[in-house]
Structure 1
Amino acid sequence: MMNDPRISLRLHFESGLTFGRGKADLLQAIDEEGSISAAGRRMGMSYRRAWSLVEEMNLHFATPLVDSSRGGAKGGGAQLTERGRQALSDYRALEALLRDQGAGLLARLRGSQRSASS
């Protein structure tokens, strides 16, 4: 049985940053977990990978998306900045718009495909 096609959104900025569902999910996980490490674990990625993605996003925006503090006796933490929350919200809104407005076009494209058994 063939899976239904799905629409995914990936933004390519002039600065070289590519921003898609994975980075948006990481921002959301950081917002919910309060930690880059915990967000990475939740997503099945290493702390190093999660930190690298956060650094990449922070470097490509005029103001950082994530603010973090080092661990220690009281532990560290991370939180989205106002700009980070807005970037996540804007991305999710674009996803919803594309999904909602593109559903009819996607159905038409799906209907015009050759069957897998042909």
Structure 2
Amino acid sequence: MTGKTFYNAQCHCRECQYISGGGPNFFMMCKAEDYRITRGAPRAFTRPDLDRAVTRHFCPTCGTHLNTKPRPGLMVIKVGTLDDMSNYPGPETAIYMCDTQPFHVLAEGVTQHDRLAPKA
């Protein structure tokens, strides 16, 4: 990643719980041009049964989820894939709190949204 991130969050939607093993998905967003995979070529998966499904990219060797492209020009990076975790300052916001589980933990001061955060 060469540029700055502009959205640091955690998502509690059921889709993210499926890929994370039950917890929220911690992620950050950047411009697609500022992100590159340094080794290998990811595979992609899009659920055909969802109206607004995102395409998730993952490592074909180990299955680790790497990123999603929510729309052209943007990249959502899964925090656990970073070589240097200090690039993630922690979530500023939590989305899809309507799907949160009793065992999910929120850091103090994180803004919560029932679904997506409103556009600025």
TM over 0.5: no
Give the TM-score, by structure 2 length. 0.24
Structure with bigger RCO (C-alpha 8 Å, 6+ apart): 2
Which protein is richer in helix relative to its size?
Answer: 1
